[in-house]
Structure 1
């Protein structure tokens, strides 16, 4: 099988296997996720088809929608495909925003324990191909009276890094772009226009 030619078929098969094992249900395709599925599979396999769908291959994916619509499943399925084929094109490092902020909070609390050559949490996640899962689930950090918004800082840092080297950012979230603006500010939302292909997963929760 040519994985590039049959990527969508294999992606659906893998998503089915994941859901049957975890939730005993099939991966359903309907009007709420058909475009997102076509876009996502084209993004990782066929740039020509992606551009016909209005996508930009140099941008990351901002996958948004209600709880339970399958946002995380898309990237979990991609991870399984990577495990089987080891194609670096499918390799996306994943970190949940809550976990990331918790790590940063511990780092700030123990900053005196960092060795001189140690990289900070923000530095570790400022480059490469990374998925930040569930944007807006994280909290801000109060560090000696200074409020730090880790995801706001990271999005802006990765925006500047992407202009100099390969730095692809992916995000899943319940937020629309307008809600991103309200939560993180106009500067961040403005960067997002240049950083992301915005894809909506519509409908209600598919979890049963």
Structure 2
């Protein structure tokens, strides 16, 4: 199954503008999910409002996004309980994004483990531009808050706090796009990363939460 071919079926072009059929979008997401994650994958009715916000953001429907208090020029924090489908949904929604807004999904714990062995060099892919790039790569940091404070040669570092602060500077100057999934609440994020990081996150991200009672779908 080619995801991009499937997505072509979710819209019509009228007067040069893509007009999406939301029901077809949800159906396509579910079909892609079953193909990627297994036949048990299902879009739950309770999650449809969250999915609609993510779709509106991904297709960059600015007027509808504004009505939903979503700024398409910011990234996304997708929050919710363990197992509610945050990572899989960010993976699926990515196919609806324009190529210039596609992102890689990187587990925060992997970054922390890399830092433990390689030190600050391990942070370079997330805090520096590649040669000939005008800005850093778009990244979705998965499971923010599951990584731990890591020591490298005795020096302790809050790895994700450093990355977020650096990417904030690039967001301001170059519109670098960053996304996050997390199980943590806003207050828990502040406890983990401090009020300075939390303040930057408010400026960088739209918060889109799953219902706190959303069941574990694994």
209, 214, 217: which one aligns with 1:204:
214
Q: Which has the higher contact order (CA 8 A, sep 6+)?
A: 1
Q: Which runs of 5+ in 1 are unaligned?
A: 112-119
Alignment of 1:37-116 (within 5 A): 37-45=51-59, 46-81=61-96, 87-108=98-119
Contact 2:75 2:204 in 1 (8 A): yes
Cα deviation digits, residues 89-125 of structure 1 (max 9, x gap): 45111111011112222212xx8xxxxxxxx332311
Could you tell me which residue of structure 2 aligns to residue 114 of structure 1? none
Cα deviation digits, residues 54-102 of structure 1 (max 9, x gap): 11111100000001111112112124556xxxx4145111111011112
Aligned-CA RMSD value = 2.2
Could you tell me which residue of structure 2 aligns to residue 161 of structure 1? 170
- Structure 2: how far apart are the matches of 1:168 and 1:37? 20
- Structure 2: how far apart are the matches of 1:7 and 1:136? 36
Q: Which runs of 5+ in 2 are unaligned?
A: 1-8, 13-17, 128-135
The answer on 1:181 being equivalent to 2:190 is: yes
Alignment of 1:118-133 (within 5 A): 120-126=121-127, 127-133=136-142
Q: SS at 1:125's partner residue?
A: helix
The answer on 1:34 being equivalent to 2:48 is: yes
Question: TM-score, with normalisation over the residues of structure 2?
Answer: 0.79
Question: TM-score, with normalisation over the residues of structure 1?
Answer: 0.83
